[in-house]
Amino acid sequence: MPLDNSAHICTAAAVLTAAVCFQGWRILNKPESKRTATERSAVIVHGITGLIGNTPLIRINSLSDATGCEILGKAEFLNPGGSSKDRIALYLIEQAEKSGQLVPHTDSCIFEGTSGSTGISLAMVARAKGYLCHIVMPSDQAIEKSQLLERHGATVERVAPCSIVDKNNFVNVARRRAAEYGADDKSGTRRGYFVNQFENPLNSDAHYRSTGPEIFQQTNGHIHAFVHGSGTGGTIAGVTHYLKQQVPGIMSFLADPQGSGLANKVNHGVMFAATEREGTRRRQQVDTLVEGVGLNRLTRNFANLLKPMQGDSKGKCMLDGAVSVSDRDAVRMSRWLMANDGLFIGSSGAINCVTTLHVARRLGQGHTIVTILADSGQRHLTKFWNDQAMVSLGHDVNAPATLDIFEQQ
């Protein structure tokens, strides 16, 4: 006998209820780090670390419309700690816990040398997980980064900028402080843990496991190029490695600030920057306004990009080119994006967008290019986003009238 309408309705309701329950069960049993942003919005996350990752991918309208490409920025500034460094802070601490190097609520302390953003992320995660945090940073970084670190409960030690070979380099000081900490604790429970983001391969592994897969999923694999700068080399190494395994023919380009030798290393095989010429250098380490990216040495994470991928018979490195971006163009791009897109980004995001513009012009219309917007301009108010300071250095802080002003490369 055929079912009446009420029976049909009851059957449909039962099926729908079962589907909803299954979907809820599936989300709740998936690790927070693997949930999509939509899935996370349907559940209550466990603490501040549950908000890390799964950042949106946004179309940068002004650059996309001008080039005929889809230029997409991964909004890493929307992580709870304000930058992409939240990812490595959580991942590296969790891996240290798994290996027994860190145990929460034992008065143990996390140490790192950083230009600021990694330190802020580490301080946030450390506080949430029950650790102390001690950050060593160069004294020429924006003061608001130190202030944010202190508000997160970290001990901040600012040291004079100097070469990595100097024992007083900020990285070397952090390593030494970690070794000294807990040395008098006979129980061995009070430990100092040195993160070592520049040389720790878990740095790139964090992005291989999170940022790369997210970009692939968000673009449905329809992506032709990836653009990013290199500080530690972790993000560009991890994302490039993952995407090149997933998307045949995808290209990866380095965005490099002036004063850094990495672009020349990628393009010509020699570490060199024009500001390294005798008598032209104004600043220690890398002569640029841009903070957080650019080096004149190879970190372990970045060096892996210069090797061919496994199975590549041609022996090519994983990077397809590099663009050296002047401070002038970095300032111009930041003001352009604010005026035309309402995007208030930091200095590393600005050089990423300049490089993305060059890559779009090189590839031509119809391509999809993804870059990283690592942090917001709020961390650069006293320097990069201080108009008076920029004008004193000879930079025009007015938004350009056209993208044609950017130097052709």
Phi, psi of 255, rounded to the nearest 5 degrees: -100, 120
Residue 195 burial by Cβ neighbours in a 10 Å radius (0-12, 13-18, 19+)? buried
Q: What's the gap between Cα 116 and its chain centre?
A: 12
Say if CB 114 and CB 197 are below 8 A apart.
yes
- Cα 339 to Cα 328: distance, rounded to the nearest angstrom: 17
b/e map 140-149, b = 16+ CB within 10 Å: ebbeebbebb
Concatenated DSSP letters of 25-76:
HHHHTS-GGGS-HHHHHTS--SSGGGGSS---EEE-HHHHHHHTSEEEEEEG
Q: Sort strands 70-75 and 57-59 into parallel, antiparallel or unpaired.
A: antiparallel
Say if CB 317 and CB 305 are below 8 A apart.
yes
- Active site annotation includes 307: no
Sign of the C-alpha dihedral computed for residues 29, 30, 33 and 36 taken in this order: negative
- Cα 105 to Cα 408: distance, rounded to the nearest angstrom: 54
- The one catalytic residue in 30, 34, 85, 307 is 85
Give catalytic residue positions: 85
